[in-house]
Amino acid sequence: MSFYNERTVKSVRKARGCEGCGVRIEVGETALGCAGLGYDGFWSAIYHHECRKAEEGLNKLHDTWRGDEWMPLSDMEWEDWPWLIEDHPAAAARMKITTERFEEVQAEQERVRKAWAEIDARRRAESTPS
């Protein structure tokens, strides 16, 4: 990236969605304005301060610091939710990510894995000559 700038916006003049969590940053709230020139050209975004820190932490966690590998907070996998809840509780709360929701998703993923394993076992049994 050939140019990158961050600045604190003390009072937002126009309500817009946070690039990280998607929740509206209302008029009068403080925010973080970001702009840069990267591989795909000029870009700009506005974040809650906590959401930007969370997004940077997510990329540090996955070692995806290069522009073409950068992972937006909105693309985070559910397996990273415990990290977000622990390290960035404000961002997790805005995204409605809770320990209970994580456990529900985890249980559903396990049910899906078991169902596919059963289907696979049935198919193997049916295709095996007697």
Structural domain boundaries in the chain: 3-76
d(CA 16, CA 25): 5
Residue 127, pLDDT score: 86
3-76 carries CATH number 3.30.1740? yes
d(CA 56, CA 71): 9
pTM for the full model? Answer: 0.80
Residue 49, pLDDT score: 97
Residue 38, pLDDT score: 75
Residue 31, pLDDT score: 97
130 pLDDT band (50/70/90 cuts)?
low
